Amino acid sequence: MKVVLIGVGQAGGKVTQSLAQFDYDMGFDAVRGALAVNTARADLQNLDIDTALIGQDRVKGHGVGGDNELGAQVMQENATEVLDELDGRITTEAEAIVVVAGLGGGTGSGGAPMLARELKRIYEKPVYVLGILPGRDEGGLYQANAGRSLKTAAREADSLLLVDNDAWRGNGDSVAAGFERVNDAISRRVGLLFASGEAVEGVGESVVDSSEIINTLRGGGIASIGYASAEASEDAGENVNTITSVTRKALLTSMSLPNAVKADSALLVVAGDPERLSRKGVERARRWVEDQTGSMEVRGGDFPLGSDKIASLIVLSGVERSERVNEFMERATEAANSQGGTTDPDEFTNDQLDGLF
C-alpha cells in the first residue's frame, strides 16, 4: 500500500521519520513521500525528512505551547502553504495519505484533525490519522487535549489508527527510552501494514493487497493494530500451530489499544517465507480472529517476506466502543473538567467538539 506521510507536531515528525526510515531499510518502497510540519522551529531541526515551518506570523517559530485550539487555527490559516509543500508528492501512485501526530500536545493535537479535513476536501484518496495517546503520567493538559483531538480526528479522518503510549512502553523505561520503544513498535507494525501487498520475496497463496486494508478501514471510527512473531520451521505443515500462536499473541497481548478486542471488521496479515507459510494455519487463525472479535468481516492473507520468522499483523476497525477507549475518555473528561472545559466520553461523531474547531 503506497502512502504519503505527513507528521504534524513534535511526536508526529519523529514517528514519520521513523516510519520512512523503516520502509527504506526494509526496501518496501511503500512510503512515497514524507513531510514534517510544525510551529516550533527547534523540533524540525534534527529531522532528516523534508520539513515545513508554519504559523511564524502567530508564534514566531516557538510553537503553540500546548494550546491545541491555537494549533488548529494555525493549521487552518496555513493549510494552503502545507498543501503547496505536498504538491508533487501526492501522485496517482499514492493510495492513501496518512497524517501522523501525538494527540496530547498543541500543534499535532489541533493541527492533525484540521489537516485531515483539508486533505479530504482536496483529494479523493483515503485520509487516515495515526494518532498517539499520551501516557497516564503525562499530565492533565495532555489528557484533555487528546480527548478533544481524538473525537475530532475520528470524525474528520477516514479512520483514526490509535496507539496508546502505555501499550508498548516497558516497565522502568525512562521517558526517552519509552518514546523510543513506542516509535520502534509503531514503525514495525504500521510499516509492515503499509508494505502489505507490495511484492518483496516470492509469491504467496493469497497475498493481501491494498484494497483489503482500505476496505477494512472503510467503516471509519477508531482502529488499532497488533503484531507478534516467532521462529518458523522449514516445513510449512509444522507452522500451523506457530501461525495460530503468534496470532493469539498479537491480538491478546500486543494491540496498540490493549483489551480492545471486539471490532466491526478486522484484517489478519501473516508474513513470512512463502515456502514456510501454511494456508491451513492462516485460515485457522483467521477463523479464530473472527470468533474473538465477534466480526463476520475478517479478511486474511499472506505477506511473502524473506525471513526465518513468521509474523502476524492484526488490524481491528471500529473499536471506539471498547473499554480501553472509554477509560481514556473518562480520564480526559476529568482532566478537561478540572481545567474548566468539557469533553463527552460517549460521543465520537458529535459536532460539539469543545471549541477545538
Q: What is the pTM of this model?
A: 0.92
| pLDDT tens figures, 264-273 | 999 999 999 9
Q: Which residues of 77-93 are buried (b: 16+ CB within 10 A; e: fewer)?
A: ebbeebbebbeebbeee
Residue 18 pLDDT class (50, 70, 90 cuts)? very high
pLDDT tens column, 90-104? 888 999 999 999 999
Q: Residue 235: which residues within 8 A CB-CB, separation 6 or more?
A: 276
Q: Is the pLDDT of residue 223 over 50?
A: yes
pLDDT tens column, 160-212? 999 998 888 766 666 666 678 888 999 999 999 999 866 555 555 678 889 99
pLDDT tens readout for residues 290-341 = 999 999 899 999 998 888 999 999 999 999 988 888 888 999 999 888 876 6
Question: Which domains, from first to last, does the chain contain?
Answer: 3-195+322-338 (3.40.50.1440), 224-317 (3.30.1330.20)
pLDDT in tens, 109-130: 999 999 999 999 999 999 999 9
Instruction: Give the separation between CA 165 and CA 139, rounded to whole angstroms.
Output: 13
Q: CA 2: distance to chain centroid?
A: 15
- Give the pLDDT of residue 352: 36
Supply 268's cell numbers: 489478519
pLDDT exceeds cutoff 60 at 353: no
Residue 355 clears pLDDT 50, i.e. is over it = no
pLDDT for 6 beyond 50: yes
pLDDT tens for residues 76-93? Answer: 999 999 999 998 888 889
When mean pLDDT is compared across 125-129, 149-153, 222-226, 351-355, the lowest value belongs to 351-355
Per-residue model confidence (pLDDT) at position 169: 72
Q: How far apart are the C-alpha atoms of 200 and 145, rounded to whole Å?
A: 40
Query: pLDDT tens-digit profile of 23-79?
Result: 999 999 999 999 999 999 999 999 999 999 999 999 999 999 999 999 999 999 999
* Residue 305 pLDDT: 87
SS (H, E, C) the chain: CCEEEEEEHHHHHHHHHHHHHHHHHHCCCCEEEEEEEECEHHHHCCCCCEEEECCHHHHCCECCCCCHHHHHHHHHHCHHHHHHHHCCCCCCCCCEEEEEEECCCCHHHHHHHHHHHHHHHHCCCCEEEEEEECCHHHCHHHHHHHHHHHHHHHHHCCEEEEEECCCCCCCCCCHHHHHHHHHHHHHHHHHHHHHCCCCCCCCCCCECCHHHHHHHHCCCCEEEEEEEEEECCCCHHHHHHHHHHHHHHHHHHCECCCCCCCCCEEEEEEEECCCCCCHHHHHHHHHHHHHHHCCCCEEEEEEECCCCEEEEEEEEECCCCCHHHHHHHHHHHHHHHHCCCCCCCCCCCCCCCCCCC
Residue 337: what pLDDT? 87
What is the structure's pLDDT at 10?
96
Name the nearest CA neighbour of 107 among 76, 151, 139.
76
